[in-house]
Amino acid sequence: MTYEELEKYLKAGRIACTTLNEAASYIRPGMKLIDVAEYIENRIESLGGKPAFPVNISINNIAAHYTPTPNDTSVIPEGSVVKIDVGVHVDGYIADTAITLTFNEEFKLLSEAAKTALERAVEAVAPGVRFSRVGRIVEDVIKSYGFKPIYNLSGHSIDRYTIHSGDVIPNYEDRLNLGSFRRGKVYAIEPFATNGRGHVKEGSTTAIYALKPNPKKIAKLDQTTREIFEHIYEDRKTLPFALRWYTRKFSLDQLESSMKILVSAGLAIAYPVLVEVSNGIVAQFEHTIVISDKGEEIITTRC
């Protein structure tokens, strides 16, 4: 990793950290999700970054992948548990970080379980350490609070312009996972804790998509769908996006029908919301770690 690359990771991390800290003191029950999302995404841009993905605002039993839809009228509910997951990129160098806001005393310990699991997990990250070792720490800490980790959600390696670049850092001791941390690489560690069964499934709403270019398939698209594809690809390449980002340029009807076409043609991937299978409440914390020649640096705590 070059000095310039490390600087860009550090800048992305600083922007993500600042944005998330500000969001944490700003968000209150009763606020509209769309306002929270726009506040966070605008802040990322005003600090000199770009969203690496639409901000995820996942409430209660929704573990991940909820972002406000274009006409979203929902608000942060009283007494809720809210995960704010922010991704920032600077020239494609990505920082990924999340916190849980708990507007209900009853779930403070659940949130603390995920937070402590993350703190212990990042302490253990070093070149040569097995991913499953970190998974075991996450699982042990969360279980010591009397909760379960979410077994089918995991941390991941990060590459330029690629949020999930292949390595899986489990949230339990997965003995089949033989991978280990390497110097020169970047990792997101993200424990999820729940009072439910510890698994997520796909829900019925999708608000996040990513494009998958294929020149042959693009040539067969209708005019409007091709225009939408090209406009979004110019902006995002293969990074995830939300339809609400493009409703100034295209009508929502157009966007929705074109996304259906793109997904079924294999030119786009849909990321449906992920809900806990037993409707358990979910808490999450996440940091991004760069392992450079100088050692391990948690880039999302420096602000």
Interface region with Mn ion, contact rule CB under 5 A, candidates 129-137, 145-153, 182-190, 222-230? 182-190
Closer of 97 and 258 to Mn ion (Cβ): 97
Q: Which residue has the tokens 């506040």?
A: 39
User: What are φ and ψ of residue 201, in 5° steps?
Assistant: -135, 165
Name residue 276's beta-bridge partners: 200
Rounded CA-CA distance 226/237 in Å is 14
Residues tagged active-site: 85, 96, 156, 164, 190, 286
- Of the pair 267, 298, the CB lying nearest Mn ion is at 298
Measure the CA–CA gap between 14 and 7, rounded to whole angstroms: 10
Order of strands, sheet of 282-284, starting from the edge strand that comes earlier in the sequence: 148-149, 192-194, 282-284
Cβ proximity to Mn ion: between 57 and 268 the closer is 57
Binding mask 274-303 for Mn ion (x = CB under 5 A): ------------x-----------------
Q: Which of 36, 188, 267, 275 binds Mn ion (CB under 5 A)?
A: 188
Q: Quick one: 53 or 229, whose CB is closer to Mn ion? A: 53
Q: Nearest approach, Cβ of 86 to Mn ion (angstroms)?
A: 7
Site string for Mn ion, 56-95 (x = CB under 5 A): -----------------------------x----------
* 194 neighbors 283 (Cβ within 8 angstroms): yes
Instruction: Choose which of 10, 23, 61, 96 interacts with Mn ion (CB under 5 A).
Output: 96
Whether the Cβ atoms of residue 113 and residue 138 lie closer than 8 Å to each other: no
Give whichever of 167 and 286 is closer to Mn ion, judged by the CB atom: 286
Q: Which stretch binds Mn ion (CB under 5 A): 32-40, 132-140, 187-195, 230-238?
A: 187-195
How does strand 192-194 pair with strand 168-169?
A: unpaired
DSSP code at position 267: S
> What CA–CA distances, in Å, run from 2 to 82, 103, 266?
37, 42, 35
Minimum CB–partner distance for residue 146 and Mn ion (Å):
25
Question: Which residues from 226-245 bind Mn ion, rule CB under 5 A?
Answer: none
Give the pairing of strands 168-169 and 282-284. Answer: unpaired
Residue 1 CB contacts under 8 Å (≥ 6 apart), including other chains: 184, 290, 292, 293
Check residue 167 for interaction with Mn ion (CB under 5 A).
no
User: Site map for Mn ion, 190-209, x if CB under 5 A?
Assistant: --------------------
Q: Which residues bind Mn ion (CB under 5 A)?
A: 85, 96, 98, 188, 286
